[in-house]
Amino acid sequence: MGRRERLSQEPDRGQSENEIANRAAADDDQTARIRDLLSSGNASYLQTNYETARKAYSDGWEIAGKTDPKDPIRYDVLKRLSGIESALGNYAVAENWLQQAITFREV
């Protein structure tokens, strides 16, 4: 959900439009940080530096895991975590991340 959509939503009781705008800006900052981490992880992955990629993806999940459960960035992070664990031979861990991604897509 983009910032404009969040701003156009009805405010919750007790929340001013300014509070809603601030929350939307914070969400945009989180999304930008997650995307930066995914980009860094992707670059490391392409260089077969899998441990560094896993760290970037894990850091991305720490942030994404706290976002709105409907935010599609969560799915992107989960897919990458599954892929990196598979590349490292950690198939049970990879399957766990994959199941979380599938569950997200079904909701």
Each residue's pLDDT tens digit, 80-95: 999 999 999 999 999 9
58 φ, ψ to 5°? -65, -40
Q: How is residue 36 written in tokens? A: 């930066």
Q: Give the tokens for residue 31.
A: 């999304």
Strands (E), 1-107: none
pTM for this entry: 0.74
Instruction: Write the pLDDT tens digit of every residue in 6-61.
Output: 444 444 555 566 555 445 555 678 999 999 999 999 999 999 999 999 999 999 99
